[in-house]
Structure 1
Amino acid sequence: MVDLSGHCPGAFLQEDLFPSTGGFIGGRYCEPYLYKTNNISCCLPCPLADWRYADNIAQRVEVASWISVAILPLCIFILISYAVLSPKWTNRHYLSICFTLGICCMEASTIAFIIPLGAQPNQCHNQITPNDMYSDLSCAFSGSLLLFGGWMVVIWSFIRTIAFHLQVCWEVVLGPKFMWSAFVAGFGIPAIGLAVMLKLTGVSFRFGQICHINIDKGLDDYWAPIMAFAAAALVLQVTTMAYCMHIYLRSLFDKSASTTEHSSGLPSYTASVRTVSARHAWRRMQRVLQLQWRGVALVLIILGNVIFFAVVFIKLDNEVSPTSSNIENASLWLGCLALGGTKAECKGSVRGMGPNEATLLAVVYLLSLVGFWNFALFARPSMFAGWLDLLRRGFARRHEFISAEADDRYIDSKGFEMLTTNNARSPAPYNMRSPSPSRMGGRTSVTSPSPTFDRNVHFGREARYTRPSMSFSGPRPPSSSQNAQDWDPSSTFARGYAR
Structure 2
Amino acid sequence: MSNLTAHRGACLAPFLDLSTFQSTNGFIAGRFCAPADQILPGTVCCLPCPSAEWLYPDSFSTWSLVAESINAVSIAACLFLLVSFLCLPVEKTRRHYLSVGLVIGTFLMALGFVVPLAVKPEQCYDEITPNDMYSSLTCAWSGAFITSGGLTVAMWIFIRALSMHLQICWDVLPGKRFFYAAQGLGWGVVAILFTCTITFTGVSFRFGDACHVNSAHSLADFWGPLLGIAGISAIIQLATFVYCIHVYLKNMWSDEKTETNSSAGLPSYTSSVRMQSARAVYRRVRKVLWLQWRGILIVVFILIDVIFFSIVFVYLDAMENASHDDIKSLTPWILCLVSNPENKEKCFQYAEKALVNKETIIAILIMLSLAGIQAFFLLVRGSMFTGWVQLIGEKFAHKSEFVSLDARRFSADARTFELLNQKPRSSILKSPTSTVTSPTETYNSPIGRSTPDYFQKEITREYRSPTLSFSSPRAPQASPNAVDWDPRSTHARGGLGFHPVMEDDTVMENKI
TM-score range, shorter-chain basis?
A: 0.7 to 0.9
Deviation at 1:388, TM superposition (A): 2.5
Counterpart of 1:123, as a letter, is: Q
Are 2:34 and 2:324, in contact at CA under 8 Å, matched by a contact in 1? no
Are 1:123 and 1:209, in contact at CA under 8 Å, matched by a contact in 2? yes
C-alpha distance in 2, partners of 1:368/1:214? 20
Counterpart of 2:15, as a letter, is: F
Q: Secondary structure at the match of 1:117?
A: helix
Q: Secondary structure at the match of 2:173?
A: coil
Q: Secondary structure at the match of 1:158?
A: helix
Q: Secondary structure at the match of 1:350?
A: helix
C-alpha distance in 1, partners of 2:50/2:71? 24
Are 1:247 and 1:278, in contact at CA under 8 Å, matched by a contact in 2? yes
What is the Cα-based RMSD across aligned positions, in Å? Answer: 3.5
Are 2:323 and 2:330, in contact at CA under 8 Å, matched by a contact in 1? no
Deviation at 1:254, TM superposition (A): 2.7
Deviation at 1:132, TM superposition (A): 0.2
Deviation at 1:121, TM superposition (A): 0.8
Deviation at 1:223, TM superposition (A): 0.8
| Corresponding residue of 2:82 | 79
Question: CA, structure 1 residues 275+175, in 2 after alignment: closer, same or farther (shift >3 Å)?
Answer: farther
Question: CA, structure 1 residues 369+258, in 2 after alignment: closer, same or farther (shift >3 Å)?
Answer: same
Q: Secondary structure at the match of 1:76?
A: helix
Are 2:26 and 2:129, in contact at CA under 8 Å, matched by a contact in 1? yes
For the pair shown, the structure with the greater C-alpha radius of gyration is 2
Counterpart of 2:41, as a letter, is: N
| Corresponding residue of 2:383 | 382
C-alpha distance in 2, partners of 1:13/1:486? 128
Deviation at 1:323, TM superposition (A): 4.0
C-alpha distance in 1, partners of 2:475/2:151? 84
Question: CA, structure 1 residues 37+103, in 2 after alignment: closer, same or farther (shift >3 Å)?
Answer: closer
C-alpha distance in 2, partners of 1:479/1:162? 81
Deviations 1:214-267 (A, max 9, x none): 0111112111111111011011011012111211221223359999xxxxxxxx
The correspondence of residues 165-314 of structure 1 with structure 2, limited to 5 A, is 165-254=165-254, 277-314=277-314
Counting aligned pairs with the same residue, the percent is 38
Are 1:309 and 1:363, in contact at CA under 8 Å, matched by a contact in 2? yes
Are 1:28 and 1:129, in contact at CA under 8 Å, matched by a contact in 2? yes
Question: CA, structure 1 residues 190+486, in 2 after alignment: closer, same or farther (shift >3 Å)?
Answer: farther
Counterpart of 1:11, as a letter, is: P
Deviations 1:54-113 (A, max 9, x none): 12322321111112112321111111111111111111111111111111112xxx1112
C-alpha distance in 2, partners of 1:216/1:276? 58
Deviation at 1:312, TM superposition (A): 1.4
| Corresponding residue of 2:483 | none
Are 1:317 and 1:354, in contact at CA under 8 Å, matched by a contact in 2? no
Are 2:254 and 2:275, in contact at CA under 8 Å, matched by a contact in 1? no
Structure 1 unaligned segments of length 5 or more: list them. Answer: 260-269, 397-413, 415-455, 461-477
1:358 matched to 2:334? The reply is no
1:7 matched to 2:18? The reply is no
Are 2:112 and 2:145, in contact at CA under 8 Å, matched by a contact in 1? yes
Question: CA, structure 1 residues 169+345, in 2 after alignment: closer, same or farther (shift >3 Å)?
Answer: closer
The correspondence of residues 332-481 of structure 1 with structure 2, limited to 5 A, is 332-341=332-341, 342-350=343-351, 352-394=353-395
Question: CA, structure 1 residues 299+35, in 2 after alignment: closer, same or farther (shift >3 Å)?
Answer: same
Counterpart of 2:211, as a letter, is: C
| Corresponding residue of 1:418 | none
Are 1:256 and 1:277, in contact at CA under 8 Å, matched by a contact in 2? no
Question: CA, structure 1 residues 351+181, in 2 after alignment: closer, same or farther (shift >3 Å)?
Answer: closer
Deviation at 1:360, TM superposition (A): 1.1
The correspondence of residues 19-168 of structure 1 with structure 2, limited to 5 A, is 19-34=22-37, 38-106=41-109, 110-168=110-168
C-alpha distance in 1, partners of 2:274/2:161? 24
Segment drifting more, 334-343 vs 129-138: 334-343
Deviation at 1:38, TM superposition (A): 2.6
Q: Secondary structure at the match of 2:45?
A: strand
Q: Secondary structure at the match of 2:42?
A: strand
Question: CA, structure 1 residues 90+36, in 2 after alignment: closer, same or farther (shift >3 Å)?
Answer: closer
| Corresponding residue of 1:475 | none
Counterpart of 1:115, as a letter, is: V
Deviations 1:102-143 (A, max 9, x none): 11112xxx1112211222110000000000000000101110
Deviation at 1:20, TM superposition (A): 4.4
Are 1:29 and 1:322, in contact at CA under 8 Å, matched by a contact in 2? no
Deviations 1:351-405 (A, max 9, x none): 5432211111111111111111011100011212222232334489xxxxxxxxx
Deviations 1:315-352 (A, max 9, x none): 21111225466522111111222345431233343354
Question: CA, structure 1 residues 278+24, in 2 after alignment: closer, same or farther (shift >3 Å)?
Answer: same
C-alpha distance in 2, partners of 1:210/1:29? 18
C-alpha distance in 2, partners of 1:66/1:84? 27
Structure 2 unaligned segments of length 5 or more: list them. Answer: 260-269, 398-413, 415-427, 433-465, 477-492, 506-512
C-alpha distance in 1, partners of 2:330/2:352? 6
Are 2:10 and 2:40, in contact at CA under 8 Å, matched by a contact in 1? no
Counterpart of 2:331, as a letter, is: S
Deviation at 1:276, TM superposition (A): 6.1
| Corresponding residue of 2:21 | 18
Question: CA, structure 1 residues 340+284, in 2 after alignment: closer, same or farther (shift >3 Å)?
Answer: closer
Question: CA, structure 1 residues 349+252, in 2 after alignment: closer, same or farther (shift >3 Å)?
Answer: closer
Q: Secondary structure at the match of 1:38?
A: coil
C-alpha distance in 2, partners of 1:154/1:479? 90
C-alpha distance in 1, partners of 2:149/2:39? 51
Deviation at 1:285, TM superposition (A): 1.5
C-alpha distance in 2, partners of 1:36/1:90? 68
Deviations 1:11-68 (A, max 9, x none): 1111111124100000001111126663211101011110011123223211111121
Count of matched residue positions in the alignment of Structure 1 and Structure 2: 405
